Structure formats: structure tokens, C-alpha cells
Amino acid sequence: MAQILFMMTGAEHWTLKDGTQHPTGFWAEEFLGPHEVFCEAGHEVVVATPEGVVPTVDEASLTPDVVGGRENATAMARAVAENPALQAPIRVDEVVLADHVAVFLPGGHGPMEDLAVDPKAGGLLVSALEADVPLGVVCHAPAALLTCLRDDGSSVFAGYRLTAFTNEEEKQVGLADKAPWLLQDRLVDLGVDFVEGEPWEPYVVRDRGLYSGQNPASSAPLAAEITRALG
């Protein structure tokens, strides 16, 4: 059974422009959907966080209006609470990349707080890229790419075609004006070829070993694309 590494945020909040802390964590759908896809394909999921802390689910991702009703919300909350990989994460700096056939990063606003400034997380992504290990990032998780810099300050991912949570989607959730920075803008500043689909619709992009998804609805299709590549 091959292992898929899920590198996840350990943050419980996102610090906004005015210094207030917006409660967050990982987005449930972006963990549960890909987890199901990979496990159904016969893989095992291993979770890593920056400090080995149990990742916090964003409670907004478990509300009935977001997930299609109270029954779905209850089922998803139970699935998160009972998932053994989530309850026993390893530290990012303990990861042995050779043990994993792919690396996948779920989103939520949490990565904007910690993975975006964590050089150990960035180093792992660069190692995956160099080792030709498929790397998947979805929604806000591409924030982790911001630390992947060469000695001259240029991005390892400059020139890559990718997608992520868009400025328009951030506006529609009401956080664009409150954000200290917008992910799409920062990625464009890195020199990536940023592309986007319709807001909230599944949209997946592959460029070499980098697989990216725009939003929560893209997470399971993104995992399916990686699964096909793994054969």
C-alpha cells in the first residue's frame, strides 16, 4: 500500500489586516474528498503538520448550508473526528519523502497563516518537485509555494501554470477587503502563470509534477487526477 502525504496547516486562525484573528483551520471537504479518492485507489494517507499538532477543522466548512444539509454536516464532522490519520500527525521536519508516492496539501485559510511562512514546508515542496513526486495543492494551500525561493529570491515555481483560490472568490466570501494579502496576487508576483475557472466550479490544472485546484469543489477531482498519474 503506497502512502500519500497530506501536509496540512496547524493554524487555528488567520490574522487579518487589522490584527484580529479569524477562526479557521483546514477545509473539511478538501481533506475528506481527496482522502476518499486516494483510499479507494488503495493508498494510505499520512498527515504532517508544521509542529505535529492535530490539525483544526474550520467549523465554517461543516455548516449545513455549506455541505448540503444537517445530515451531511453531521456525517462530515464525524468523519473528521474519527479519522486516524488526522489524530496522529507527524511533524513536517520528520517526513521522509521517499516513503511517499505523492504530496497533497488541503486548503482552508489556515495555510495563509503558517505554511505561507514556513521554510521547512517549502523545502519539502521543493524536494518533491526535484524528485518528481506528484505535488497537489488546492484552494488556499498554494500559499505554501511562497516560501519556495532560490538563493537569488526567485521562485522555484516561476513559469508554472497553476490555479488557486481567486481574488473573486475571496471577495464573494467577504474577506478580500480584510485580508492582509490576497493569494492570487502573491502567486502572480512569484511569476507563475495563474489561470482560473468560474468561481466555485471545479477547476484543475496540471503542469509537469504540479497539480493545482482552484477551490473546495476542485479537491476531489484534483486527487483523482493525481491518482490517474500514479497509475
Say what the pLDDT of residue 130 is. 95
Residue stretches of the chain with pLDDT short of 50: none
Residues 6 or more apart in contact with residue 228 via CB below 8 angstroms:
none
Amino acid letter, residue 108 = G
Say what the pLDDT of residue 1 is. 75
CA distance 1 to 189: 39
**How is residue 209 annotated by DSSP?**
T
CA distance 16 to 13: 9
Per residue in 109-130, pLDDT (tens digit) is 999 999 999 999 999 999 999 9
The cell numbers describing 116, all together, are 505561507
| pTM score | 0.97
Instruction: Give the chain's end-to-end CA distance (angstroms, integer).
Output: 13
